[in-house]
Amino acid sequence: MHHSPPPGSRFIPGVPGFPDIRVIIADPNPGASGRPVYIHMHGGGYVTTSTVIYPIIQRIAYDCQCLVVSVDYRLAPETSYPGALDDNYAALQWVHDNAEMLGVDRKRIAVGGESAGGGHAAALALRARDRKEIPVIFPLLIYPMLDDRTGSTRRAPRCMGRYVWNEASNRFGWSAHFGVTAGSAEVLPGSVPARVEDLSGLPPAWIGTGSIDLYAEEDITYAKRLMAAGVPPELAVFQGGYHGFDVIAPSPTVSRRFREGWQSALRRAFATV
């Protein structure tokens, strides 16, 4: 069955020698100029895409009054690291190079995503820091997938990771992403944000998770390591939140508070530049 592309879907150049990349664009004010831009990476454990990308990015675009560019990066296991990171960086480069055409302010580029997308956003912020070509002002990390050792060499407490995404799913997603077993002693540099030794020089981040999410501990640890490196994170842990709770059950108060938390953080990041 052929699905027609959603509104704002287009192809941009990928890494030389690799296929073009599809991006999905949500634009709250077509024709506007000088507005902030949010480069979004979807969740899916590195191995699947998300069926709800357009509603998510449309809501962000309108609620935060920014252009949103969501990257349909190549998936594991067919593409292993650094294929998806290369795609996400190519999208960052495209947005930066085409700022006038897109009507965006090069000084207000944020990156982010949920779950695997949060892991991709953390990796992208690290690459942008290292390459010093494009300034990223803010990574928005929504229950991000940051550490391949969770569920393999580090077991989660019994109360965490019982719903939606568990230790077995995590081992599968990371192993597919690498092409080597999750928790291996050696992984490629930059492939696991939690294993990058130097986190200094990153922009301030927002990290949010639920208290019974499989990723709660690794997300809190990453925030602590950012603080130790002199990077100010905002960390939010929501009571009783399992993985993806705000998408699966959008109406409870905790889900609304979670969304309001990261949306206001994104608006503040755009306003402080």
Residue type, 49: T
Residue 4 lies in a domain: no
Quote the pLDDT of residue 271.
Answer: 96
Give dist(CA 203, CA 269) in Å, integer: 10
Quote the pLDDT of residue 4.
Answer: 44
Residue 2 lies in a domain: no
Mean pLDDT of 103-126: 97
Give the bridge partners for 75, in sequence order.
none
175 closest CA partner among 144, 157, 153, 197:
153
* pLDDT tens-digit series, residues 168-191: 898 889 998 888 888 888 888 888
Helix (H, G, I), strand (E, B) or coil at 222: helix
- The yes-or-no verdict on residue 1 having pLDDT over 80 is no
Residue 69 lies in a domain: yes
- The yes-or-no verdict on residue 152 having pLDDT over 70 is yes
154 DSSP assignment: B
80 closest CA partner among 194, 177, 162, 197:
177
Number of domains in the chain: 1
Quote the pLDDT of residue 7.
Answer: 61
Percent above pLDDT 90 for the chain: 71
Give dist(CA 137, CA 110) in Å, integer: 6
User: In angstroms, how far is CA 20 from the centroid of its own chain?
Assistant: 20
**Residue 161's CATH number:** 3.40.50.1820
Residue 3 lies in a domain: no
User: In angstroms, how far is CA 116 from the centroid of its own chain?
Assistant: 6
What pTM was estimated for this model as a whole? 0.94
Domain of residue 194, residue span: 9-271
Mean pLDDT of 55-78: 94
Question: Residue 48 has which token pair?
Answer: 């699947």
Quote the pLDDT of residue 6.
Answer: 54
Which position has the higher pLDDT, 98 or 48?
98
Residue type, 16: P
